[in-house]
Chains A and B, each alone.
Chain A
Amino acid sequence: MTELTLVQAINRGLQQAMHDDADVVMLGEDIGLNGGVFRATDGLQKEFGAERVIDTPLSETGIVGTAVGMALYGLKPVPEIQFQDFIYPAFDQIVSEVAKFRYRSGGQYPCHLVIRSPYGGGVKGGLYHSQSAEAYFAHTAGLKVVIPSTPADAKGLLLSSIYDEDPVLFFEPKRIYRAVSGEVPDGDHRVPLGVAKVVREGTDLSLFAYGAMVHPALQAAETLASDGPSVEVVDLRTLSPLDEKAVLASVEKTGRAVIVHEAPRFCGYGAELAALFAEKALFSLKAPVARVTGYDTPFPYALEHLYLPNAARIVAAVRTTMAAG
C-alpha cells in the first residue's frame, strides 16, 4: 500500500501496465516530455521511451483514429484527450468507429482501447475546461464508461480497463486529482468494471453519485447523520454497463433515491437511473426520485460555485425527499 493522490494513482496504474505489457502504448498532446498538463503521465516517457509514450500533433481525431488502428492490430492503446471538453473532434471516431467495430464485423474486429480524459468543474476552467460529457458516451452502445472517485479505484479501474476487451472511456475527476488521496495497493491492483460500491451504508435514502460528486454526497450524508435520516451513498464507478443489481438493491432497501451529477440535468445520466427506478423499483419508492445536477446551461466561469452541486444542495434535496414521503 502507498498513500497517493488520485492523479498519482493513475500515473502508477499506467506505469504498471506499461511495465507488464509491452503492447501498452500511450498517445496524446503534451503527455511525453511535459508529463501531461496535469502530470498524469509524468516520467513515463522517460521510463518507457518516446515510441510508447507518443507526443502527438494537435488533433484529437488523429489521436483516437490512430489508436483505433493500433487496437485493430492488437496493441493496447491508451490515448489521452487533454480535457474532456476537447474530445468532440474525436466524437466521430468514438461513436462511428470505436463503438461499432465489434458489432459490424461480427466480432472479427474488436476495438479495445482506453480513452483517458479529465472531466468536470471546480477548477475555474470555464466553458471549455469543466464539462461532464459522460452521458453522450453512456448513450452509445458498444462503449464502456468508467469514472473513479478514489485513488485506489482510479488505479484498479484503470488497470481493469486496460485489460478489458471492450473500448473504455475512462474519465478522471480533475477537481480531485490532488484534493483526494488515500492508500493504494501496489502492483497489478484491479477493481472489476461494472460493479458499483456502497461507500456508506444507510437505511432511509440512497444517494447515487460518481467521480468528484461522491465526495459532497458523503459530506451531505455525514451532515445529516446526527439528527437526520440515515443516508446510503452508492458510488457507481462504472456508468456503462451499469451495475443494475446494486443500484436496485439499494433503492429497494431505502425506498428513496437522490441522484447527483455535475452534468446538466436534461437527458443527463441521472435520467437513466430515474427511469430504471420507475421501471423496476416503482413499488419500493416512498417518495419521488430527485436529482441534484448542474443546470441546463453551458458550464459557467464566474458563477461555477452556483452551478456545481455541493453538500448543501444535496442536503436540501434529501430533506425535501424525506418530507415527501
Chain B
Amino acid sequence: MSAGTVPLPYDRAAIGAALGGDWEETLLAAHHWMTLARELDSRMLGLQRQGRIGFYGPATGQEAVSVAAGLASRAEDWVVPGLREQLVALVRGHSLTRYMHHLFANDRDPARGRQMPCHPSAREVKYVSMSSVVGTQITHAVGLAYGLKLHKESGVALAFFGDGATSGNDFHAGLNFAAVLSLPVLFCLTNNQWAISLPVERQTHVKELAQKAAAYGIASRRVDGTDFVACYSSFTQGLEAIRTAPGPLLCEFTLFRMTPHSSSDDPSRYQAPSWMPQALAHDPVLRLEELLTRHGLLSESAQRSMKEEAARLVKEAIAEAEAVGPPAPDSLLTDVRASGPRPEGPGPEVP
C-alpha cells in the first residue's frame, strides 16, 4: 500500500455491522476479485499497446463497486452494464476464459467477435449485451424490471451508467418510468468525475448527481465508491429494500477515474496534475488491502500469492484465447435476423 492511501474508517465491529456475519469471507472474496481485476486491466492495456487486442476500456478505480454488485446481487437479478462493469459479469460467474475470448474477438467469443473488446454479452449470468452508446441501457433496466414485477419474481434490475450518461434522454426517461411504474430497479451511477475530458462540474450544475433522483420522486444515496465495505452494504441494503417494497432507488458511487478514458485517450491534454495523486489516494484496492492488513486478515505472503494467482489466471486465459483464430467469415452474416433470407456476403474468392 502507498503512504498516501486514505484508510477506510472501520474497526472490526463496524465491518461486521456493515457486512454481516461472514464478513471476513466477504472481504477476502472481494480482495480476490479486485486483485484479479487490477491484473486484468494492466495486462490487457499492455496487450492493447502491443497491438494484440484492438481496444481496452479499463475499470481501474471502479473495482469496489463492481465486485460489491457481483457479490451482493443474486442469480435472479439482472445486470444492465455501462462502460466499465465487465467485472460484475465475472463475479457472477461468467468465466474469465470466455471473457478473454471476447477481448481477443476470436472464434470462441460468445458474441463472435462482433463487438469491440469490453462489450461482453453473458446471458448465463443475466448480464445484458451493451452497445457503446452512452445511456441507452438505462431504460432497458426499467423494462426488465417490469418483466420481473409482472412475473412476480423477486429479482431486481441493476442499471449501471456514468456521470456523463445523466445528461442524456434515457436517464430522465428511465428514472421517470421506473418511479411512475414502481419498478424494482437499482440505478447505479458510477460518478468517476469525468466524461472523457469533461469534468463532472461541467456536466451538471447540481452539487451532487444523486439530487437528480429527487426530481422523479426516487430516494437516493451517495456512497464512497472506493470503499468496498460501503459499496457492499449499500448494495445489500438497496437490493433488500427494493425486494421488500418494489420501487426504484438510486445510488451514486463517487469514484476517481485512475486511467485514461480508454486506450485511445490522452488525459494530459485536459487533466490537472493534481488529479492523479487524489485518485491514487482513493485506490479501492489499496484501501481494501490496508483494511485487511490492519485487521490481521492479509499477510504479506498471502497478498503475494494472491497476486501471483491472479497473474497466473490471466496469463493462462490470454494464452488460451490468443491461440484461437478469428471468427469464421460466415459469422459475418448470422444473427442479423431470426428469419428471412440470409444477407449476401463475401464469397469464398474474396480476400
Contact = CB atoms under 8 A, between A and B. Distances in A.
14 contacts: A35-B269, A57-B198, A58-B135, A59-B167, A88-B133, A126-B115, A128-B133, A295-B332, A295-B343, A300-B332, A301-B105, A301-B114, A302-B105, A302-B106
Nearest to B168: A59
Point out which of A29, A58, A124 has the most chain B C-beta atoms below 10 A from its C-beta: A58
Given A295-B345, A297-B336, A302-B114, 4 more contacts: A30-B197, A55-B198, A127-B116, A301-B114
A297 B343 contact: yes
Interface of B: 54-55, 105-106, 109, 112-116, 119, 131-135, 164-165, 167-169, 195-198, 202-204, 264-265, 269-270, 326-327, 329, 331-333, 336, 343-346, 349-351
Contact of A34 (B196, B204, B329): B196
Interface string A102-130: 00000000000000000000001111110
B351 to A, nearest CB: 5
Contacts of B131: 127-128
A125 B263 CA distance: 12
Interface in A273-325: 295-298, 300-303, 306-307, 310, 312-313, 316
Contacts of A15: none
Contacts of A301: 54, 105, 113-116
B interface, over-half SS: loop
A297 B333 contact: yes
Nearest to A32: B197
A58 B198 contact: yes
A141 interface: no
A37 interface: yes
A81 B280 CA distance: 33
A57 B350 contact: no
A62 interface: yes
Size bracket of the A interface:
35 or more
Nearest to B163: A58
Interface string A47-80: 0000000010111011000000000000000000
Contacts of A310: 351
A89 B139 CA distance: 14
B270 A34 contact: yes
Contacts of A35: 269
A85 B329 contact: no
Contacts of A126: 55, 114-116, 119, 132
A135 interface: no
A33 interface: yes
Contacts of A125: 116
A32 B188 CA distance: 29
Interface of A: 29-30, 32-35, 37, 55, 57-59, 61-62, 85-86, 88-89, 124-129, 265, 295-298, 300-303, 306-307, 310, 312-313, 316
A58 B167 contact: yes
Contact of B269 (A29, A34, A297, A302): A34
Nearest to A57: B167
B332 A58 contact: no
B332 A307 contact: yes
Contacts of A59: 167-169
B173 to A, nearest CB: 12
B198 A29 contact: yes
B196 to A, nearest CB: 5
B113 A296 contact: no
A57 B202 contact: yes
A312 B349 CA distance: 10
A307 B326 CA distance: 14
A35 B169 CA distance: 25
A258 to B, nearest CB: 16
A223 to B, nearest CB: 13
B162 to A, nearest CB: 9
Nearest to B204: A57
Contacts of B333: 295, 297
A300 B345 CA distance: 13
A21 B4 CA distance: 51
Nearest to A82: B196
Contact of A313 (B327, B332, B344, B350): B350
Contacts of B344: 265, 295-296
Contact of B331 (A32, A62, A298, A303): A303
Given A124-B54, A303-B113, A61 B169 contact: yes
A30 B114 CA distance: 27
A40 to B, nearest CB: 14
A298 B195 CA distance: 27
B169 A297 contact: no
The 4 A-B residue pairs with the shortest CB-CB distance in the complex, in nearest-first order = A302-B113, A128-B132, A34-B197, A126-B116
Contact of A29 (B196, B329, B346): B196
Point out which of B202, B329, B332 has the most chain A C-beta atoms below 10 A from its C-beta: B332
B148 to A, nearest CB: 27
